[in-house]
Structure 1
Amino acid sequence: MLLTMKFLVFLFILGPVKDCFAAINLETCRVALGMQTKEIKDEQLSSSSTYSEELLGARYARLGLNEGAGAWCPGNPISKDHNDEFLEINLLKLTVISLIAIQGRDNAESNAVEYATHFKLVYFRQSELPTDDWRRFEYRNYYNYTVMLGNNNPSQAISHSISPPIIAERVRVYPVNPVDVPLHVCMRVELYGCPYQ
Structure 2
Amino acid sequence: MGSLVSTLFLTLDGVYQGPGGPDEDRRDGFDQGGWSHPYADEDSGRFLADVFGNVGAFLLGRRTYDIFAAFWPRVTDPADPIAGRLNGVPKYVPSATLTDPAWAGTTVLRGDLAPEVTALKERTDGEVQVHGSGALVRSLLDLGLVDTLHLLTIPVLLGAGRRLFAEGAAPTRFRHVRGQITSTGVSIQTYARDGRPVYGSFM
Under a length normalisation based on structure 2, what TM-score does the superposition of the two structures give? Answer: 0.24
- Higher percent of residues as strand: 1
- Higher percent of residues as helix: 2
- Mark the structure with the bigger radius of gyration: 1
Under a length normalisation based on structure 1, what TM-score does the superposition of the two structures give? Answer: 0.24
